[in-house]
Amino acid sequence: MYTIDKIPTSKIQRATKLVQTGAKVGVNYVKYYSDKLTNSEVIARKRLHENNAEDIYDGLKKMKGSALKVAQMLSMDKTILPDAYVEKFSLSQFSVPPLSPALVIKTFKKYFNKYPNDLFDTFEATSVNAASIGQVHKAFKDGKKLAVKIQYPGVAESISSDLSMIKPIAVKMFNLKGKESDHYFQEVEGKLVEETNYLLELSQSREVAMRCRHIPNLQFPNYYEKYSSERIITMDWMQGKHLSEHAAQGSSSQEQNDLLGQTLWDFYMFQIHVLKKVHA
């Protein structure tokens, strides 16, 4: 049990953000009860979900780390959350405010005792994409274009405390059952601990690439152990488009869509039924 003067400042700040988010959700419920007086229950509840999803996501994306990762995981199961939450929380996969360049450089200094420009021919200190627990930077080395993923500082250390803070909210907001929620959050915590170990990710990614290279229409990057550590992982830069962006454009032919669907099916069915694990 912590007394208030022993809690690290970062935990106080994270708890404060959570309280502020809770206050906004409370206001949304007041609006909802008022809205029901002039509109149907369906319309009022739809607005409630949209407002709550917006405010909760805004709060979690400021916290980043495991709190935001839970939102990302929840968004992947469309049977748990209303559509408004799924749509908003799915942004945590690729659309989060980035770290400052100064913190990026500090992370390199900590794990390599070198600055990024000492390791790469060029390195862009401003990220090109940011998600729940890390962000991606563009770099070049010996003519190769590289993607360098850097984990946010303190993510691994805050997993347990973050989950203990957001579990009561998640259980109440999304009506998760007692024993089911305990099992869910235990599994989330275990997988998050694994996911913060980028050397483990490197070895697993290499294994999946090797075991699945026979499947048609798949491409895998090379991974570079020399430029990777527990919190930094370097791989080939691969130009692409997020699947949701592709679907939203609606400009591809049915033949292309069928090919995409078949390739994803072949990839995941091979992992599930042959490898007995899924690397996503």
- pLDDT score of 214: 95
- pLDDT score of 269: 96
What single-letter DSSP state applies at residue 143?
Answer: T
Counting as low any pLDDT under 70, the low residues of the chain are: 1-19, 21-22, 61-80, 89-97, 166, 169-170, 172-180
- pLDDT score of 248: 83
- The SS3 assignment for 144 reads strand
Find the helix or strand (DSSP H, E) in which 123 lies: strand 122-123
b/e map 140-156, b = 16+ CB within 10 Å: ebeeeebbbbbbbbebb
- pLDDT score of 6: 38
CB 68 within 8 A of CB 93: no
- pLDDT score of 9: 44
